[in-house]
């Protein structure tokens, strides 16, 4: 069974790399929201590659089981592994979006939400365009992490970006009270400016009265 194979490899690898001193610093940096094993992200990524090497291609149900098990474990590195797994072995079916919603809205912080948003959710929506309607709904949610995900899910789409959606999400949430949403607006616009700087410049100029200073600074950083 895929999940058992993963955890048989992963648990001893994580335990061998444990660093309690570093873990204390990581936990403090993340405002004591999560306990840590003390692994750096490069170590997590290397362990992830080693663990997944040679394993069969997982079905979506396998991915769901591993990800949810990782989310149930206390240390943050388990959730990082789940994000790496979903990037390396992306889910195939549109129904997996429900699982992504669960992950995004549980133990939520930028360090897991962003890879799930910009890579896993974005790739799934690009593969299944009908899911864009779900992004429309997420963009208007009360949960700020779903809003952030909707704004960021096209981050790596380049010329394929649906600018009507991107710009409307940004405009609709321009006055959002939370830093992470305002930051996401600026980040998404700045990234799209690599593809169409004139469109971003025109958008910012037309919306200066509603965009926050943070969003404007981020969006225009390289214009």
State which CATH number among 1.25.10.90, 3.40.50.1390, 3.90.550.10, 3.20.20.70 fits the domain covering 1-89. Answer: 1.25.10.90
Where residue 130 falls among pLDDT bands split at 50, 70, 90? very high
In this structure, what token pair is assigned to residue 43? 């170590």
CA 170, 176, 180, 183 torsion: positive or negative? positive
Q: What is the pLDDT of residues 168-177, one digit of tens each?
A: 999 999 999 9
Q: How far is the C-alpha of 148 from the C-alpha of 16, rounded, in Å?
A: 35
Q: What is the pLDDT of residues 42-71, one digit of tens each?
A: 999 999 999 999 999 999 999 999 999 999
Q: How far is CA 123 from CA 13, 94, 182, in A?
A: 29, 11, 23
Q: What is the mean pLDDT of residues 74-100?
A: 98
Q: Could you tell me which residues come within 8 angstroms of residue 133 by beta carbon, excluding any fewer than 6 positions away? A: none
In this structure, what token pair is assigned to residue 60? 């979506």
Where residue 147 falls among pLDDT bands split at 50, 70, 90? very high
CATH class for the domain made up of 108-223: mainly alpha
Cα torsion through 107, 108, 112, 113, rounded to 10: 150
Q: For residue 16, what pLDDT is reported?
A: 96
| Mean predicted lDDT score pLDDT of the chain | 97
Q: For residue 88, what pLDDT is reported?
A: 96
For 171, other C-beta atoms within 10 Å of its C-beta total: 15
Residue spans in the chain of domains classed CATH 1.25.10.90: 1-89, 108-223
Q: How far is the C-alpha of 190 from the C-alpha of 65, rounded, in Å?
A: 36
């Amino acid at each position: 069974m895929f999940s058992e194979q993963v955890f048989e490899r992963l648990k001893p690898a994580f335990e061998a790399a444990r660093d309690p001193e570093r873990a204390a610093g990581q936990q403090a940096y993340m405002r004591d929201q999560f306990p840590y094993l003390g692994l750096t992200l490069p170590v997590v990524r290397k362990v992830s590659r080693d663990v997944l090497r040679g394993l069969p291609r997982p079905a979506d149900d396998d991915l769901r089981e591993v990800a949810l098990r990782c989310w149930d474990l206390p240390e943050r590195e388990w959730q990082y592994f789940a994000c790496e797994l979903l990037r390396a072995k992306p889910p195939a079916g549109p129904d997996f979006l429900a699982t992504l919603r669960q992950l995004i809205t549980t133990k939520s912080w930028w360090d897991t939400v962003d890879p799930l948003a910009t890579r896993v959710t974005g790739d799934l929506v690009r593969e299944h365009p009908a899911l864009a309607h779900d992004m429309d709904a997420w963009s208007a949610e009360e949960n700020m992490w779903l809003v952030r995900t909707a704004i960021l899910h096209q981050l790596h789409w380049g010329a394929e970006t649906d600018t009507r959606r991107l710009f409307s999400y940004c405009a609709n949430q321009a006055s959002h009270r939370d830093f992470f949403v305002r930051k996401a607006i600026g980040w998404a616009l700045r990234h799209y400016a690599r593809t169409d700087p004139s469109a971003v410049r025109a958008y910012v100029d037309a919306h200066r009265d509603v965009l926050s200073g943070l969003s404007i600074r981020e969006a225009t950083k390289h214009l």
